[in-house]
Structure 1
């Protein structure tokens, strides 16, 4: 038969001290409550000796805190989101929090189901890369005073904390770099998504092309046809044989493009100017290394943590919202230099 779990009361009875003293020590409040170092060590030594583990469910019900955060992205297997999640997990763990990671696949129904599930489980807060139609769901969380930080993309008319980058400036800088390296017929390959990050990357391309008096050449791959991206990219280059360079709005589109060049016209890898938005390990290893716009993963993670901890610590104060916009880096490799 299983033995009954040890409770805080059992520890207090054994040490002949109050339950509140044990609770303060185990919750890291001994110094704040003026409990002596000798008594604190006595409690810690005994709980270690008996292998005491707190009942986290009861603890969360008592304190109103689960010490668990949800980190919801579009696809946790993508190199950008997985690296970002790993850095954030290391940072927030040192602050006493655990993280649940999940993917919403940019699908509104799945996003709502996951948010409802974890909210019911009383997690402390949400970091969300939102799918396009969940503005009302996010707004409900905010209205119920649940800490939320959006990342990577946002809703224009929703007051919510956000951490991201200046996509317009990053895209504009990448195109101007190609132009400075004598590329004049620059294609832009993106998706039909109208979410903020994709819209801003297109705007940055358009601005640079317009400012330099060049002609835009844009391919928008339908969101529901991304599995067929290679076919769209192949047709785009067949119809636009005068292109001397290309800027991909995501690294997964760049990967599809590189596969097309390898399978159909390997010379294009050396001939074209190429830049990808967001880096990937394979870009450094290509025979012609691929230039990219790189997002500051550590800075994004640190700002996410700072913003979330501030929300958690000041839940009862009047809400104020901030957008934290961080700088990207244009990593210049062989692919975008003058040919």
Structure 2
């Protein structure tokens, strides 16, 4: 059974004072309301002793809602996140809310600092792609009654609403597609990360190999090197050291961009010599020759569900622990189909 949160009423009863007195002291109005220093100290000492934290929703009711929602993602310039941001902004505006965007760069320290700053600005809610080690911070937000929805990835140890896609199933289907196209030596290029979506994509890839004769080689690239030359070098070395690969699955589109560059350098013909699939479709994949087979995430559905969950929390003033998992679509193109 969940532990009942301490309320202003509980504090008032414990100290034998009125709820109004406690409320004035908590809101810094003790002197204005001529409450004695002795009484103020008594209340402050007690709330410090029990570790009381005022409800964010209760504060909002007293101070007025900011009507601002924070949208925190790994990289707001990424097409996937930017597309969702645009749709969220539209729905938020129609419901009287504004959106603040920020990029975490998958940096936990930066994320914590940003959340702390936004909390002091009295924002109403957070839509977050969580970084590693953010469990305590998200729990704290929930304890303080902030509206919180996670997306793209979730935190297994925190009971919080989230919107994600079928990462494992989609990765499995994409890998099976390569196998059905005759691939016997498969490469998997991914981010070296403990994030749930990356783990699920890896699991889907490996599960597709079970019971087949296909062999695999895996490359994990550190996140902070993705925008640097080291990522390109690592991927080039990977393909150079595995000339037997006849199929490759990239867990993200930005890794696929680097991979295509490496394959061109090596003179590999797609799909004649190596077939290719990427997670997270991109408009560039249709322009490339040959066009790239990719898993398309349901952008509009993700945005719609994110805002629906957020607005329900803000309107009802309580946490809605809803878990939504959406299906993806595998767009088959010439890069994976060799006739």
Query: TM-score normalised to the size of structure 1?
Result: 0.79
3-state SS in 2 of match to 1:262: helix
Whole-angstrom CA distance in 2 between matches of 1:125 and 1:173: 36
* Corresponding residue of 1:97: 97
| Shift of residue 237, structure 1, vs aligned partner | 1.2
* Corresponding residue of 1:67: 67
Instruction: Check the 8 A contact 1:261/1:269 in 2, yes or no.
Output: no
3-state SS in 2 of match to 1:271: coil
| Shift of residue 266, structure 1, vs aligned partner | 4.8
| Shift of residue 263, structure 1, vs aligned partner | 2.6
Instruction: Check the 8 A contact 1:167/1:197 in 2, yes or no.
Output: yes
Whole-angstrom CA distance in 2 between matches of 1:280 and 1:212: 30
Whole-angstrom CA distance in 2 between matches of 1:224 and 1:120: 29
* Corresponding residue of 1:293: 295
3-state SS in 2 of match to 1:90: helix
Whole-angstrom CA distance in 1 between matches of 2:324 and 2:212: 30
* Corresponding residue of 1:194: 194
Equivalent runs, 1:296-307 vs 2, <5 Å: 296-307=298-309
3-state SS in 1 of match to 2:215: coil
CA distances 1:95-133 after superposition (whole Å, capped 9, x unpaired): 111100100100011101111111110111000011111
Whole-angstrom CA distance in 2 between matches of 1:282 and 1:328: 19
* Corresponding residue of 2:330: 330
Q: 1:87 to 1:180 in 2, by over 3 A?
A: same
* Corresponding residue of 1:262: 264
* Corresponding residue of 1:35: none
Find runs of 4+ consecutive structure 1 residues off by over 3 angstroms: 60-63
| Residue 280 of structure 1, aligned match among 278, 282, 292 | 282
| Shift of residue 338, structure 1, vs aligned partner | 2.6
* Corresponding residue of 2:12: none
CA distances 1:28-50 after superposition (whole Å, capped 9, x unpaired): xxxxxxxxxxxxxxxxxxxxxxx
* Corresponding residue of 1:251: 253
* Corresponding residue of 1:237: 239
CA distances 1:147-206 after superposition (whole Å, capped 9, x unpaired): 000011111111010001011001001001111122221110012101101011000000
Whole-angstrom CA distance in 2 between matches of 1:182 and 1:338: 9
**232-241 or 71-80, larger mean C-alpha shift:** 232-241
Whole-angstrom CA distance in 2 between matches of 1:107 and 1:89: 24
Root-mean-square deviation (Å): 1.5
